[in-house]
Amino acid sequence: MILSAIVFLPILGAAAVMLLPRRDELLRWAAFATSLFPLGLLVRAFITFPPQEAGFRFVERSPWIPALGVTYQLGADGISLLLAGLTAFLFPVAFLGTWEAVRHRVKEYLSLMLLLEGAILGTFLALDLVLFYVFWEAVLVPMYFIIGIWGGERRTYAALKFFLFTMAGSVLMLLGIVTLALRTGTTDVLRLLQTPTPHDLQPWLFWAFTIAFAIKIPLIPLHTWLPDAHVEAPTAGSVILAGLLLKMGAYGLVRYAIPLFPEAARSFAPLLSALGVAGILYGGAVAYAQTDVKKLVAYSSVSHLGFVVLGTFVATLQGIHGALLQMINHGLSTGGLFLLVGVLYERAHTRRLDALGGVAKEMPAFTALSLFIVFSSAALPGTNGFVGEFLILLGTFRADPGRAALAAGGVVLSAIYLLWMVQRVYFGPVRVDPSAFRPLTWQEAVALGALVLVILWIGVQPAPLLERSEAAVAAVAARLAAASEVAR
Partner 1 sequence: MGLVVPWIIGLPLAGWILNGLWGGRLGHRPVGWIACSAVLGAFILGGWEVLALLRAPADAAVVVRLWEWIASGDFRIEAALRLDRLSALMVLVVTGVGFLIHVYSVGYMHGEEGYSRYFAYLNLFVASMLLLVLANNLLVLFVGWELVGLCSYLLIGFWFEREEAARAGRKAFVVNRIGDAAFVLGVCLLFVLFGTLNFEEMARRVRAVPSGQLAMATLLLFVGATGKSAQLPLYVWLPDAMEGPTPVSALIHAATMVTAGVFLVARLWPLFAALDILPNIVAAVGAITALFAATVAVTQVDLKRILAYSTISQIGYMFLGLGAGSATSGLFHLTTHAFFKALLFLSAGSVMHALSGVIDVRRLGGLGRAMPLTTASFLVGACALSGIPPFAGFFSKEHILESAYHAGLIHLWLVGVVTAGLTALYITRAAILAFGDPPADPHAHPHEAPPVMAWPMIVLLILSAAGGFLGAQALGDPFHQYLAPLFEKKTVPPARGLDGLVLGAVSVAAAAAGIVVAWAVYRGRRDPDLGAVGVFLRRQWYIEDLYRAVVVAPAEAVARFCAGVVDLRWIDGVLNGLAAWIARIGTGVRRWQSGYVRQYAAVFLVGTVLAVSYWLFR
Residues that bind partner 1 (CB under 8 A): 161, 165, 221, 223-224, 227, 282, 285-286, 288-290, 317-318, 321-322, 358, 360-361, 364, 368, 371, 375, 380-382, 386-387, 390-391, 393-394, 397-398, 401, 404-405, 408-409, 411-412, 415-416, 419-420, 422-423, 426-429, 460-463, 466-467, 470, 474
| Nearest of 155, 304, 168, 181 to residue 237 by alpha carbon | 155
Please give the Cα distance from 80 to 132 (Å, whole number).
13
Q: Which is nearer to partner 1, 8 or 157 (CB)?
A: 157
**Concatenated DSSP letters of 348-378:** H---BTTT---HHHH-HHHHHHHHHHHHHHT
Q: Which is nearer to partner 1, 265 or 411 (CB)?
A: 411
Task: Collect all residues with Cβ–Cβ distance below 8 Å to 69 and sequence separation of at least 6.
Answer: 181, 185, 186, 187, 188
Please give the Cα distance from 50 to 464 (Å, whole number).
10
Instruction: Return the beta strands (E) in 3-48 as ranges.
Output: none
Task: Collect all residues with Cβ–Cβ distance below 8 Å to 342 and sequence separation of at least 6.
Answer: 97, 98, 101, 235, 236, 238, 239
Q: Which is nearer to partner 1, 185 or 364 (CB)?
A: 364
CB of 417 vs partner 1, minimal distance in Å: 9
Q: Which is nearer to partner 1, 180 or 399 (CB)?
A: 399
Q: 256-259 long-range contacts, Cβ below 8 Å, gap at least 24? A: 256/129, 256/132, 256/189, 256/209, 257/206, 257/209, 257/210, 257/213, 258/312, 258/476, 258/479, 258/480, 259/193, 259/475, 259/476, 259/479
CB of 408 vs partner 1, minimal distance in Å: 4
CB of 378 vs partner 1, minimal distance in Å: 8
Q: Which is nearer to partner 1, 3 or 83 (CB)?
A: 83
Q: Which is nearer to partner 1, 37 or 390 (CB)?
A: 390
Q: Which is nearer to partner 1, 399 or 483 (CB)?
A: 399
CB of 423 vs partner 1, minimal distance in Å: 5
CB of 381 vs partner 1, minimal distance in Å: 4
Pair 203, 264: CB distance under 8 Å: yes
CB of 396 vs partner 1, minimal distance in Å: 8
Q: Which is nearer to partner 1, 251 or 417 (CB)?
A: 417
User: Three-state SS for 483?
Assistant: coil
Q: Which is nearer to partner 1, 195 or 461 (CB)?
A: 461
Q: How many Å is the maximal CA-CA distance in the chain?
A: 68
Please give the Cα distance from 319 to 481 (Å, whole number).
13
CB of 236 vs partner 1, minimal distance in Å: 26
CB of 291 vs partner 1, minimal distance in Å: 9
CB of 360 vs partner 1, minimal distance in Å: 6
β-bridge partners, 383: 381
| Nearest of 172, 190, 192 to residue 182 by alpha carbon | 192
Q: Which is nearer to partner 1, 92 or 311 (CB)?
A: 311
Cβ-based neighbour number of residue 258 at 10 Å: 26
CB of 284 vs partner 1, minimal distance in Å: 8
Phi, psi of 71, rounded to the nearest 5 degrees:
-120, 160
CB of 361 vs partner 1, minimal distance in Å: 6
Q: Which is nearer to partner 1, 261 or 397 (CB)?
A: 397
User: Three-state SS for 126?
Assistant: strand
Please give the Cα distance from 210 to 224 (Å, whole number).
17
